[in-house]
Structure 1
C-alpha cells in the first residue's frame, strides 16, 4: 500500500504561508536546499527542474495532491508538476487547462490512490486539505524554517481529529532549517 506524506515547509509558529498564500519569507538558499534537491527532486516544480537541468526519475513520489490555492499560486504555471500524477482538491474548480485532475472528495480519492501500487503520494498543501486528509496521512516531513510569521495559513486548519505521530528523524542545517520526519503512531 502506498503512503500519503505531508511534505511541507512551515514557520516556527506553524504557518505554511503568509495570509495571502505567499511563501517568500521562507529560505530558498543554503545547505537545506542542496539536500532537498538531491534527496527530493520530485518535489521541485517544473520551472525549477528545467532551470537546474534536473531530469532525475522520481525517487519518493509519483503523485501529488494539492489544494486549489496551492495549485493556483500567483505567478504559477499550469501543470506545475508534470513529472507527477497531479490532483487538486476543489469545490470551486471543475476542470483545469492542463493534466491536473480536479477532485471534489479528497478523502475518497486519497484512499483510492493509496490502494494502487506505485511510489508515495505527496500532500503539498494547504492547511484545510491537510486537516481533511489527516486520517490518511502516514508521514509528516516538516521543513521548519527559522522564522515566525505571526499569522498566515496554518499547517492544519479547520476541525480535525487528534492524531499521534512519532518522531522518526531530525536533520538540522547551517541555515537553521530543520527537517523533521514523523510517522503515524500505532494507536492499537
Structure 2
C-alpha cells in the first residue's frame, strides 16, 4: 500500500534478516561469528546479493573495503542481542554499524559507545515505539534469544538459507513454544545454492 501525504504513515516493519542452515541454526554451538564458516561460506554471489539488495547490513569495515557509502536502502536501524553485539566487540568494534541507528538489547551490558543505545527492559515496548517513528524498516540481526522475545513484533523474515546441516547450535528462535504463521512472498536461489526466502506475517497471526 502506497503512503499518501497527509495521511498517517505506515508503521515500520521489524525484519529478521539472517543466515540460517537447513536445520534452522544461525551460528554454531560456540555462538561465535559464523561468517565464513564452512556452513556459511561467503561466496561471490552472496556478496553480490547483499551489496545489491541490503548493503547497509554489511559492517562498517566491510562497507569501507567495498567502497559502499550512503544511507540504507531498506533499513536505517539495527537491533541485536548481547551475544551478537559481543562478536563485534571481540573484533574491536564498539559499533559495527555506524551508518545505522544501533540498539542492543541486554539486561547486563553497559554502553561501550555513545552511539549505541542499550535497551535493558521492555524490549517489546521499545520496538513498538520504534515502529511508530518515521523512518525505514528495522533490521533484527539476531541472536536467537532476542528474536524469540520479539517474535510477536516480527513482520517479515528474510532467511539466507544455506544448503548445510550442523545438528546443533544457536537456533533461529531460542525459547519456549509459541506459534506464529508467516506466508512466503519471495524466493531467490543463488548460484552457490543459498536460497533467500522472504516471508510476511500472516494476517491471522
**TM-score (structure 2 length as normaliser):** 0.88
> Aligned pair count?
188
Aligned residues: CA RMSD: 1.2
Match of 1:5 in 2: 15
Match of 1:16 in 2: 26
1:96 aligned to 2:106?
A: no
Q: What 5-or-longer segments of structure 2 have no aligned partner?
A: 1-10
Match of 1:40 in 2: 54
1:83 aligned to 2:99?
A: yes
SS in 2 for 1:131: helix
Distance of 1:94 and 1:187 partners within structure 2: 39
> Within 5 Å, which residues of 2 pair with 1:29-178?
29-73=43-87, 74-104=90-120, 105-178=122-195
Distance of 1:100 and 1:81 partners within structure 2: 9
Distance of 1:145 and 1:177 partners within structure 2: 5
Q: Rg: which structure is higher?
A: 2
CA offset digits 1:44-96 (Å, max 9, x no partner): 00010011111132110000000011011032511100110000000111322
| Residue pair 1:131, 1:160 contacting (<8 A) in 2 also | no
